[in-house]
C-alpha cells in the first residue's frame, strides 16, 4: 500500500513538482480540473441567482410595494446550496481548519496534518451517512416546501452531494500529506 502511494498510483504525481505518474497523472489532473470547473460554476451561479433574487425583492418592495414569497423561498434554498458549495471550495483550497500549536515544525507538523485530515474525514463520513438518511427520509415523507411546493429533496440532497465532494477533497489532501510525510522521512535518512 505505501509503495503504491509512493509511486503515485493512488495519488498520482506525488508532491508538487515531482515527476512520475504517467498517463494516470494526466487523467487525475484532467478529472480534478473538471471537478474544479463544476464546483466553480456552481459557486458562481448560486451566488448570482441568490443575489439577483434578493435584489429584485428589494427593488420591487421599494418601488412597487410588492414582494414575492416564492422568490424569498427560492433565495433561501439557493443560499443553502451556496453555503455548502462554498464549504467544498474552502476544503478544496485547504483553507478550512488551520491548527498546529506545538506541532509547527518538522515531523510533528507532518504527523499533525495527517491526523487532522483523518479526523476531518471521519466527521465528514458521519455527516455523509446522516445526509443519506435525511435525504431518504425527505423522499419517504414526500416533504414539500410551503410556498413553491417543491419537493424538499431539492434542498436536502445538497447536504449529501456537497459532503461527498468535501470528503473527496479531504482524501486528496490526506494523500498529499502522507506523501509529504514519507518524503520528510526519506530526506531525514539520506
Rounded to whole angstroms, the Cα distance separating 143 from 146 reads 9
Answer for the pair 169, 88: CB distance below 8 angstroms, yes or no: yes
Report CA dihedral (49, 55, 61, 64) to the nearest 10 degrees: -90
CB atoms within 10 A of CB 175: 17
| Residue from 171, 143, 167 nearest 157 by CA | 143
pLDDT, tens only, 33-79: 999 999 999 999 999 999 999 999 999 999 998 888 999 999 999 99
Task: Report whether 108 contacts 185 (CB < 8 A).
Answer: no
Tell me, what's the pLDDT at 4?
42
Q: Tens digit of pLDDT for each residue in 70-118?
A: 999 999 999 999 999 999 999 888 876 666 666 677 778 888 888 889 9
pLDDT at 2 over 50: no
Q: How many residues does the chain have?
A: 190
| Nearest C-alpha neighbor of 148 from the set 66, 49, 70 | 70
**Domains of the chain by residue range:** 2-189
CA–CA gap between residue 3 and residue 11 (Å, rounded): 11
Amino acid at each position: 500500500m505505501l509503495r503504491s502511494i509512493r509511486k503515485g498510483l493512488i495519488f498520482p504525481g506525488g508532491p508538487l513538482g515531482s515527476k512520475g505518474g504517467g498517463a494516470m497523472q494526466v487523467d487525475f489532473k484532467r478529472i480534478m480540473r473538471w471537478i474544479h470547473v463544476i464546483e466553480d460554476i456552481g459557486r458562481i451561479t448560486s451566488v448570482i441567482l441568490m443575489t439577483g433574487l434578493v435584489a429584485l425583492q428589494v427593488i420591487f418592495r421599494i418601488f412597487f410595494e410588492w414582494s414575492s414569497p416564492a422568490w424569498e423561498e427560492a433565495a433561501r434554498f439557493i443560499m443553502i446550496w451556496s453555503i455548502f458549495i462554498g464549504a467544498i471550495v474552502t476544503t478544496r483550497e485547504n483553507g478550512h481548519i488551520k491548527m498546529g500549536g506545538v506541532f509547527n515544525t518538522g515531523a510533528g507538523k507532518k504527523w499533525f496534518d495527517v491526523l487532522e485530515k483523518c479526523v476531518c474525514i471521519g466527521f465528514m463520513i458521519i455527516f455523509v451517512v446522516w445526509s443519506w438518511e435525511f435525504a431518504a427520509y425527505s423522499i419517504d415523507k414526500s416533504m414539500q416546501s410551503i410556498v413553491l411546493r417543491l419537493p424538499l429533496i431539492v434542498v436536502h440532497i445538497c447536504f449529501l452531494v456537497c459532503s461527498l465532494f468535501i470528503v473527496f477533497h479531504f482524501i486528496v489532501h490526506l494523500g498529499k500529506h502522507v506523501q509529504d510525510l514519507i518524503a520528510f522521512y526519506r530526506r531525514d535518512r539520506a
